[in-house]
Amino acid sequence: MSNQQEGLVRYKGSDRLNHWLIAVLFVLATLGGLAMFHPSMFFLTGLFGGGSWTRILHPFIGSAMFVLFVLIFFKFWHHNVLNANDRKWLSQIGDVLNKNHDRLPEVGRYNGGQKAAFWVMVLTMILLVVSGLAFWRPYFSHYFSVDVTRVAALVHAVSAWVLILTIIAHVYAALWVKGTIGAMWTGVVSRAWARKHHPGWFKEVTGGK
Ligand code: HEM
């Protein structure tokens, strides 16, 4: 896991590529979705070549994002199982925001907030794809009653908003904790970053040295 003396490898190239593809698809799916959500955002359809193209492309973009997310899910779910330390970390969110690191329980590869966000992403992605399929005309919607497609549209909108807010928090946290963007960009983090923010993971990969 150690890279040249100073850095620690956190992400492989394939995982980083997958993550950034998901991020790009997420932004596109969000812009297209918002364009269709409310007339005030209809102007966003210009980015996709008009209203019809936005409507045609959106489900394909969303499906591609889901498929790539399934790959991340199978590689990362076991790093995101919440333990007693994570629950304590979440209950001490005041100390987290005030950067009282010494009062917090030991954080492993991910902290309680990252793990909770991961499971919200999983749940909302599943709800989005299942509800989206139910009203995807002309391919799947005819298998469902009008009532089901109406409920599906509501579930789709609510899950999309929850995912958007979660990703805003995800990006904010990545920018707020200095050195974190670099983890996903270069795949390597400094020993100081790991020792400070993820001491449990630091011990795991270095044996504490
Ligand atoms: C749009 C801009 C985004 C930025 C700037 C960003 C940034 C990052 C960074 C810096 C990390 C590394 C965190 C660490 O190692 O501690 C990370 C991890 C991760 N990101 Fe993103 N991300 C973005 C979008 C997304 C989206 C759209 C998704 C999925 C819907 C996503 C899912 C994940 C997952 C699953 C991880 C691994 C963390 C875990 O397993 O708990 N990210 N992201």
Q: Map out the domains of the chain as residue ranges.
A: 2-206
Angle, helices 146-176/112-134, rounded to nearest 10 degrees: 150
pLDDT of residue 101: 86
* Locus of tokens 């969303």: 62
Note the pTM of the prediction, 2 decimals: 0.94
Which atom of ligand 1 has the smallest separation from the CA of 166? 30
- Whether pLDDT at 2 is above 70: no
Rounded to an integer, the average pLDDT of 164-171 is 98
| Atom 20 (ligand 1) nearest CA | 19
pLDDT in tens, 37-76: 999 999 999 999 999 999 999 999 999 999 999 999 999 9
* DSSP secondary structure string for all residues of 31-61: HHHHHHH-GGGGGGGGGGTSHHHHHHHHHHH
- Mutate which of 72, 170, 198 for ligand 1 pocket (most atoms within 8 A of beta carbon): 170
The reply to whether CATH 1.20.950.20 applies to domain 2-206 is: yes
Q: Any residues with CB less than 8 A from the CB of 162 and at least 6 apart, and which?
A: 120, 124
